[in-house]
Structure 1
């Protein structure tokens, strides 16, 4: 039996489709604000890619030799200031502490004996039973014993400090960015064990070619585009290092973000940085549209343009038109290289303009 519909079914579907289309064409659609495209002078400037970096970031390294007994954190863990993060085998340093304590006890005993001998010799000298040379010898022995105690105490402090080197602690509240070793690894002085950072403050770092450093210094303002957003923000503080890298021939700029702008940002994310200068009067005005008016779908970039729709009662509507964009000038808008001309009216909300029956609101 054939699966094709009967002729009366085909006529019914066609009539239903025409009825629905007619109803939709007469439905009242949304009203969308529009703006007229015009040519304006644009600010000159530079645009570079940069990345976010924590202002306070520390790589904790071993200061004593030994095997790592425990590593109590991993990348992504939150830590508190003073928290023990890793422990290195401290049996050798414990033996050093015990030896230093024994040496101090021995030096104290020697000092007590030298002091008693000096006091007896002093009394005998006062009575004329010993020569002055004996008293001088006893006094020298007392000073030597005192110096021995001071040396023993310094040794004890040194051994206690070495014992402290077997504990790696967090220098501030923050997060573990990366671990460079595992439990059981042999640690050597200077070998990195883990990296921690504080989430605030955070800054954007960009490498500016040395040949364009002058233009960057003359910029009227500097803006940073936050990751995954269209927002361009001004840094709270900015610093250009006073020297260029001899290999890459770039100058590093550090742009500290405000606490509000840096909230929820993490180091390593890519950002865009632009140095904006004054408009050049020699430059020809360029067509610009607001960034929000652009509709991006894969490789397609388009806008909804106001057109007159035909019919018994002509009314303005919207038609999707592909455009080719140029530089993004922030608040000034996005440059249009092709697809529009001065005087065209475009929808400021492309999503609503794409709905059935949408009409200009102004």
Structure 2
């Protein structure tokens, strides 16, 4: 096809292209959420659930105790270490110089002590012969005692310097798994800077922040179970309720120790659910509820889309127990609010409420 013919074809197709572009927005209509439900009161189901997270019973963050460059980081996240195994090595030249100074101080103090001892012996002999006064003997004894004290001080300084030199090697305090490292080789470590976080495997607990208003219901529950990520339900072997509530969030921390056999294959930080079963209805109180599809869960976040005008706004909520096709809402909503029945569609760009 010659250039003139190609140009004529492009000109003839131009109106069709413009018509297609004009029609494109109409085909990309905003999604409509077909059902918007009214949140109403629901009777308590004789129990409730609370989100929790797993935490190691024995966890430690080892830190540098001397300053210097990190020469070697001997572990990485996920490694298993034995008690006393090297975690990191810090430049020890400064502490080595301090140890040499203290050793020189000990040598000097020992020489002064020997000299004072010999002087005391000579002075005692002269005093026995009557050649010197008692005051001279007293002075020699005082000088010998001072020299002895100086020697003890120098030896203590040497022990301290040797201990500081040992801090250049950061080691594991117990058999553990490396959860995270906080430095790299070449970083400058100062006293107190974290080097690595370790935890002892096989001993975990579920930690939850329970609203203070539910404390009485939790204590009155006939059973407490931890729902693990794989669906297993385990009964904690130890329950600990901290004595004070947080002044800002008005929550009380509960710690539920898991049996060792249930902790196998789990790691700290995983999300779990804690079920307080058989809580008295009077204690648990009435709950708001929403359909299961209306609740959006992303990690530790639970939220619903609340209608605002023709659109929706994401609202964080605290979810409770599931009762049939509904989920209790412990906090975050008020009676009479309208929420999207389908949280996935309501989250699409431009979603509007169905009339």
TM-score, reference length from structure 1 = 0.65
Q: Provide the aligned length of Structure 1 versus Structure 2.
A: 249
Q: Secondary structure in 2 aligned to 1:60?
A: strand
Matches within 5 A, 1:178-327: 178-229=180-231, 231-278=232-279, 280=281, 327=321
> In structure 2, how many angstroms separate the alpha carbons of the residues matched to 1:327 and 1:156?
63
Q: Aligned partners of 2:279 and 2:188: how far apart in 1?
A: 58
Q: Which runs of 5+ in 2 are unaligned?
A: 1-42, 285-319, 327-355
Q: Look up the SS of the partner of 2:224 in the other structure.
A: strand
Match of 2:103 in 1: 101
Q: Once the 2 structures are TM-superposed, how far is the Cα of residue 243 of structure 1 from its aligned partner?
A: 1.1
> What is the root-mean-square deviation of aligned Cα atoms in Å?
2.2
Q: Match for residue 17 of structure 1? A: none
Q: Which runs of 5+ in 1 are unaligned?
A: 1-40, 284-325, 329-333, 338-362
- Select 1:119's aligned residue among 117, 121, 138: 121
The TM-score, its normalising length taken from structure 2, stands at 0.67
Determine the structure 2 residue equivalent to 1:128. Answer: 130
Partner of 1:49: 51
Q: Give 1:307's aligned residue.
A: none
CA distance in 2, matches of 1:55, 1:235: 13
Q: 2:160 maps to which residue? A: 158
SS at match of 1:86: strand
- SS at structure 2 position matched to 1:200: coil
Counterpart CA distance in 1 for 2:217 and 2:281 is 13
Relative distance call for 1:217 and 1:187 in structure 2 (3 A) is same
Residue in structure 1 matched with residue 21 of structure 2 by the alignment:
none
Distance 1:138 1:280 in 2: 88
Partner of 1:306: none
Mapped to 2, the partners of 1:198 and 1:49 lie a distance apart of: 23
SS at match of 1:159: helix
CA displacement at 1:335 relative to structure 2: 3.5
Deviations 1:21-55 (A, max 9, x none): xxxxxxxxxxxxxxxxxxxx996112111111101
Offset at 1:113? 0.9
User: What SS is found at the alignment partner of 1:151?
Assistant: helix
Q: CA deviation at 1:154?
A: 1.1
Runs of 4+ deviating beyond 2 Å? 277-281, 334-337
> Structure 1 CA distance, aligned partners of 2:240 and 2:163?
38
Report the structure number with the largest CA radius of gyration. 1
Can you list the C-alpha shifts for 1:137-188, whole angstroms capped at 9, x where unaligned? 1101100000101110110111112112211110111110001110000111
| Matches of 1:151 and 1:219, distance apart in 2 | 62
Instruction: Identify the match of residue 335 of structure 1 among 294, 302, 324.
Output: 324
CA shift for structure 1 position 94: 0.2
- Tell me, in whole angstroms, the C-alpha distance in 2 between the residues paired with 1:99 and 1:217: 62
Structure 2 distance, partners of 1:123, 1:193, is 62
Question: Is the 8 Å Cα contact of residues 205 and 256 (structure 2) preserved in structure 1?
Answer: yes
Contact 1:327 1:335 (C-alpha < 8 Å) held by counterparts: no
Contact 1:71 1:182 (C-alpha < 8 Å) held by counterparts:
yes
Give SS of 1:128's match.
coil
Matches of 1:164 and 1:217, distance apart in 2:
49
Residue of structure 1 in register with 2:298 after alignment? none
Partner of 2:302: none
Q: Distance in 2 between matches of 1:336 and 1:154?
A: 72
8 Å CA contact 2:220, 2:279 repeated in 1: no
